[in-house]
Amino acid sequence: MNMGMRRLFVFLGAFGAAAVLGAFTLSSCDAENPFDAAKNPLRSEPTRVVPTIVSLSPETVEVDDGQIAPTHFVVEYRIANASRAAEAELVIQVPGGGWKEKFSVPIVAAGRLEVDLDVDWDVGPTVRYSARCPGYISEPRIWRGVGPDTPIYSTGWALTIVPDGATTGCYLEATVNGRLVQLTNKQVTPQTVEAVLPHEATNHRLASVRELEVRLSAEGESGLGASDTKTVDFDE
């Protein structure tokens, strides 16, 4: 066989292999791909169930000496892809306090839920404090209670105010449930006025964070879920 014939056979062989590969590729594209999520629902990602609190009332709850007054809540909500939801619930709790109440929520695309919170939680006393300085008194603040970032000493809890004016001659003053109490470790820095609220001033009662969390959560049939949270301040 001469050199020209060999080149022709090589060319035809390469062309044939390409044709076969092209036919296989075309056939593979036409056939259903088991890994195509659009064609195989078993491979598709589940549609996520997403709850939303549209409105919540009231916006505050009354608190007297650590006791939350019985409160009627009205919650308007939405649940995206509600048809895929397996369960939904509403939780009302004190952040970090360990107290919570759970309520079952009807699984609908848009709904309204009314629940009554009537609990015997002791969220601690109401502590108000302010900085008294020469020429002015700062606006009273309500202590936000014991949280993960609250400085705690062996004798009590730290209170700090950054006043608007100079701190020279300033000191902190505090009341517990309206009663003036003695603070300890009073000190002043160029930016802050500080003191310690003794444990005895609150009769060793802890004060929680001064708000409630209202959380609406929903879980899909696949186990995936989401939640939406609003806060309700204490009126004290």
Whole-number Å distance between alpha carbons of 49 and 37: 19
Residue 67 in contact with residue 61, Cβ under 8 Å?
A: no
CATH of domain 50-122+209-235: 2.60.40.1930
pLDDT score at 147: 59
Q: List, for residues 103-119, the tens digit of each pLDDT value.
A: 999 999 999 999 999 99
pLDDT score at 108: 97
Residue 39 has pLDDT above 60, yes or no: no
What secondary structure does DSSP assign to 20-73, as a single string?
Answer: HHHHHHHHHHHSPPTT-TTT-TTTSPPPPPEEEEEEEE-SEEEEETTEEPPEEE
What secondary structure does DSSP assign to 152-194, as a single string?
Answer: B-SSEEEEEE--SS--TT-EEEEEETTEEE--EEEEE-SS-EE
Q: Pick from 94, 92, 60: which is nearest to 207 by CA?
A: 94
Mean pLDDT over 16-21 rounds to 41
Q: List, for residues 63-90, the tens digit of each pLDDT value.
A: 999 999 999 999 999 999 999 999 999 9
End-to-end Cα distance, the chain: 106
Residue 56 has pLDDT above 90, yes or no: yes
Residues forming a β-bridge with 137: 132
Residue 63 carries which side chain, given as an amino acid letter? V
Q: Pick from 73, 74, 72, 77: which is nearest to 111 by CA?
A: 77
Rounded to two decimals, the pTM is: 0.72
Residue 60 has pLDDT above 80, yes or no: yes
Whole-number Å distance between alpha carbons of 103 and 114: 10
Q: Pick from 51, 69, 52: which is nearest to 60 by CA?
A: 69
